[in-house]
Chains A and B, each alone.
Chain A
């Protein structure tokens, strides 16, 4: 499976500021996603990062709050904008398997965000 690097691994931010999280994959992948894991909770899909076009957001998530870039098949960024304490979560980049089935999903190491 692909090696997925995420940075920063953790950050503590002030309310009202923005943080950009980077995700780098060591091989070209078709499908790239961003998930959120709130403290002690399950994982929730934020959006699909589409290469060369606007991201596709899930219900409850909007582009103004979580702008996403995907300039090529190996890199994506997620920005958490105008942060509030409710945004404190782990943010996970994920990629689909490069195999034929393309259905297995693998996760990056995550970014633990704390908003004060």
Chain B
């Protein structure tokens, strides 16, 4: 099955700085890579995703990059704000098993004002 590794486990930045979280996956057949944000006591929220036919996708201050050859993808958050503080999870489906996601271990992002 799919194996997803996520780093770092914790990340602390100053407001306005950029934050980068990286994930690697094992199944070369995986073709869809979502990122979720989970605030304390809340459900995971899908914030951005990328399909394997593109290398980068942006949505305002967040972007995801994908390197299929190296089997890794990254989340980039620019101009961080305190409300970006949360746990972020990457995931991969292990082939085309839609909905059957394998999640990374999570990154606790803290943005200091």
Interface residues of A (CB under 8 A from B): 31, 33, 41-45, 48, 58-59, 92, 94-96, 102-110
Contact = CB atoms under 8 A, between A and B. Distances in A.
A102 B97 CA distance: 10
Given A42-B89, A43-B44, A43-B89, A103 B105 contact: no
A104 B48 CA distance: 10
Interface in B84-113: 89, 93, 98-106
Given A42-B89, A42-B106, A43-B89, A106 B100 contact: no
Given A45-B102, A103-B32, 14 more contacts: A41-B105, A43-B44, A48-B100, A92-B44, A96-B98, A96-B99, A103-B49, A103-B98, A104-B34, A105-B34, A105-B99, A107-B44, A107-B45, A108-B43
Nearest to A43: B103
Nearest to A33: B99
Contacts of A58: 100
Contacts of A31: 98-99
